[in-house]
Structure 1
Amino acid sequence: MAACPDVALASALALFAQEDWYACHDALEELWQESPESRRRPLHTLVQVAVAMVHWQQGNRRGATLLWGEAVARLSHCRDELDGVDLVHLNEQGRRWLRFLQASPGGTVPPPPRLCRPAGSEPRKAD
């Protein structure tokens, strides 16, 4: 993952990578509420993904399905990336989770969502 120039976002993304979904949700929600309009949609989407995973961990399949559905819908309208996060890849993972959650229980659980750099992008160098 590329170095993120926004320290607060980098911290939230680290929580995402650690699968600390609840803490990640809190950190992202604060960023989302304080962000300019151009960053609100992708940040809100990341909040929804984290909350979907909280619901999943708590055994709330319906809540996870609803939040993944909202996240996938939002991701379809997001730019390709947010500070080095590949939103297209996250959308693919979200669609996989949504198919799983909408199917009858008993299928193979998808891996937890992972954030990555867009294909072909170079890591950002620290100044």
Structure 2
Amino acid sequence: MNDYPAEWLQGIKEFKAGEYYACHDTLEALWMDAIDPDKKFYQGVLQIAVACYHIHNRNWRGAVILLGEGIGRLPYYQPVYAGIDVTQLIKDSRNLLTILQSIGTEGIGDFVDRLAEDASVLPSIVTIKYRS
């Protein structure tokens, strides 16, 4: 048995499944009721999920802004927090941000089309203590 809120576990499952909008809804409810240090952590993960949602909607600007904000909230929680590998999540998110910055707004359409074949460039949540 773990000590993580059910909403957090649900949000992890949704993130892993690429259900970023559902993850947003789940984690937003959790984030709004949380207190620090969890509150800032949930917000960082939530922002990365919303960035991935924006990518799929070809919203380059929204994705870049939210990736940057999400990454900026997470370093304090490294290496592991709430059962996930935060260091890996930050690394994946930074790699994605670098790609997005290099392709610019004009490249987002082609990038999204390529994601249909290979989504491995999207950040992943690697669970350490929690297994789905």
Q: TM-score when scaled to structure 1?
A: 0.82
Which sections of structure 1, spanning at least 5 residues, go unmatched?
A: none
Counterpart for residue 64 of structure 1: 63
Partner SS state of residue 77, structure 1:
helix
Counterpart for residue 117 of structure 1: 127
Compare 37-46 and 75-84 and name the one that shifted more. 75-84
Change (3 A) 1:99 1:12: same
Q: How many correspondences in the alignment?
A: 120
Bigger share in helix:
2
Q: For 1:23 and 1:72, how far apart are their aligned partners in 2?
A: 20
* Letter matched to residue 64 of structure 2: T
Instruction: Tell me the percent identity.
Output: 27
Which sections of structure 2, spanning at least 5 residues, go unmatched?
A: none
1:88-107 mapped onto 2 (5 Å cutoff): 88-104=87-103, 105=107
* Letter matched to residue 125 of structure 2: L
> Over aligned residue pairs, what C-alpha RMSD do you find?
2.4
Change (3 A) 1:16 1:88: same
Residues 81-116 of structure 1: CA distance to partner in whole angstroms, max 9, x if unpaired?
222111111000011011001103367765222111
Q: TM-score when scaled to structure 2?
A: 0.79
